[in-house]
Amino acid sequence: MVPDQSFQHAHSAHCESGVMSLMMHHYGLPLSEAMVFGLSGALMFAYLPFVKLGGMPLIAYRSRPRAIIKGLQKNLGIKMKMQTFSHPAEGTKALDSLLEQGKIVGAQTSVFWLPYFPEEMRFHFNAHNLIIYKKEGDEYLISDPVFETPVRCETQALQKARFVKGVMAPKGLLYYPVHVPETINYAVVLPKAIKKNAKAMLKTPVPIAGIRGIRYLAKAIGKLEQKDRRYAKLFLGHIVRMQEEIGTGGAGFRFIYASFLQEAGKLLENPLLGESSEMMTLVGDQWREFALMLAKAIRSKESQTTDFSTLKAKLESVADAEAAVYRKLLEGNLV
């Protein structure tokens, strides 16, 4: 495991998959962000009305934080060292000493406390990921995958962002690879990861996850008619934010996954994966149409009524289209 001479930043759609892709590149395993996302089986949907974040129910288009790091370790045989700390000062010391050893280090942080984030994008989300690759004086040089170019952050500010308490508290989490395989047997790992992810989306035992989760959310939208109008609009806006504002690469990770299926199809020379990729692109387009409808509803004037049943029907048709992609992937021969 010999790192490249110098670290190269690249712009990614999503923080965790971006970080892992950059780290793998650094250690000589060129995995695209889409490959990282797909191979870790991170595509998901979950609607958890009983878990509230900022007063809104949890809606996720991907698996839980750290699942990409963990999934990649499991599926590719990568080994990561992961460390959390009980004292902030201790965590800063550990980071500085790793940087002195010439390592690039992944870290989990809050978004709100990172000063380089645009003011209007700073919310209390604690599961952001970035790479620290150097320290100059009192400043860290940071490769934040969702930014076009590297950024800088002062020691105290990063320490605050790493040690914020609350839901998904980072506890100063630092991580870096200790073993990266030189090659990957794609013919084995790709079909396995794709089938497993399709199965998770299609055959979940709980009604709040996968395709059933999408239908559950559709049902909840149908019931907004009886709710307070302000709440209803905030709820719809919240769906759009989870789908488009969080770094999802568009359409709540559906486009990244389509990109992954396309790349997998080329590697395995399998036309079925290419066709599935095209289907997933169309599903993504439908998610974007849905978001556009939601945006119209939240911008509507007091006098205009919102037709929740149309929104519900649209989301149900997205669920149907997405389920068809997973069925195709599960029934087909991927090798």
Partner 1 sequence: MDNSKVPQHNISTYANNKKAIYATDENGKYGIITSSGWDVEEAATKQALQELERLAIKAYDQALSGQASPLYFHMYNRRMDLQTLAQAMGMFQWRIKRHFSPTAFDKLSAKMFARYADTLGISVQELRELPDRRANGA
Q: Is there binding between residue 240 and partner 1 (CB under 8 A)?
A: yes
- Cβ closest to partner 1, residue 294 vs residue 334: 294
**How far are the Cα atoms of 62, 117, 211, 279, 316 from residue 215, in angstroms, in the given order?**
16, 34, 6, 19, 6
Q: Is there binding between residue 247 and partner 1 (CB under 8 A)?
A: yes
Minimum distance between the CB of residue 108 and partner 1, rounded to whole angstroms? 16
- 127 within 8 A of 170, measured Cβ to Cβ: yes
Q: Is there binding between residue 186 and partner 1 (CB under 8 A)?
A: no
Main-chain dihedrals φ then ψ at residue 310, nearest 5 degrees: -70, -40
Q: Is there binding between residue 51 and partner 1 (CB under 8 A)?
A: no
- Cβ closest to partner 1, residue 80 vs residue 321: 321
Q: State the Rg of the chain over Cα.
A: 21
Q: Which stretch binds partner 1 (CB under 8 A): 70-78, 185-193, 205-213, 293-301?
A: 293-301
Q: Is there binding between residue 330 and partner 1 (CB under 8 A)?
A: no
Chosen residue from 113, 140, 175, 308 binding partner 1 by CB under 8 A: 113
Residue 247, SS3? coil
CA 284 remoteness from chain centre: 15
What residues from 10 to 29 belong to the interface with partner 1 (CB under 8 A)?
A: 11-13
State which H helix or E strand residue 43 sits in. strand 43-53
Q: Which stretch binds partner 1 (CB under 8 A): 22-30, 72-80, 180-188, 259-267?
A: 259-267
Chosen residue from 28, 166, 207, 271 binding partner 1 by CB under 8 A: 166
Bridge partners of 62, per DSSP, are 43
- Cβ closest to partner 1, residue 193 vs residue 291: 291
Q: Is there binding between residue 120 and partner 1 (CB under 8 A)?
A: yes
Chosen residue from 121, 178, 188, 206 binding partner 1 by CB under 8 A: 121
Bridge partners of 210, per DSSP, are none
Q: Is there binding between residue 9 and partner 1 (CB under 8 A)?
A: no
What residues from 134 to 153 belong to the interface with partner 1 (CB under 8 A)?
A: 146-148
Q: Is there binding between residue 283 and partner 1 (CB under 8 A)?
A: no
Minimum distance between the CB of residue 237 and partner 1, rounded to whole angstroms? 4
- 263 within 8 A of 84, measured Cβ to Cβ: no
Q: Is there binding between residue 91 and partner 1 (CB under 8 A)?
A: no
Minimum distance between the CB of residue 157 and partner 1, rounded to whole angstroms? 10
Rounded distance between C-alpha atoms, residue 289 and residue 285, angstroms: 6
Rounded distance between C-alpha atoms, residue 333 and residue 77, angstroms: 24
Q: Which stretch binds partner 1 (CB under 8 A): 21-29, 111-119, 171-179, 185-193?
A: 111-119
The neighbour count for residue 94, using CB atoms within 10 Å, is 15
68 Cβ contact list (under 8 Å, min separation 6): 16, 17, 20, 36, 37, 40, 42
- Cβ closest to partner 1, residue 227 vs residue 299: 299
Q: Which stretch binds partner 1 (CB under 8 A): 98-106, 134-142, 183-191, 281-289?
A: 281-289
Q: Is there binding between residue 123 and partner 1 (CB under 8 A)?
A: yes
Q: At what angle do helices 67-76 and 186-202 cross, to 10 degrees?
A: 140
- 155 within 8 A of 92, measured Cβ to Cβ: yes
Contacts with partner 1 by CB under 8 A: the residue count is 55
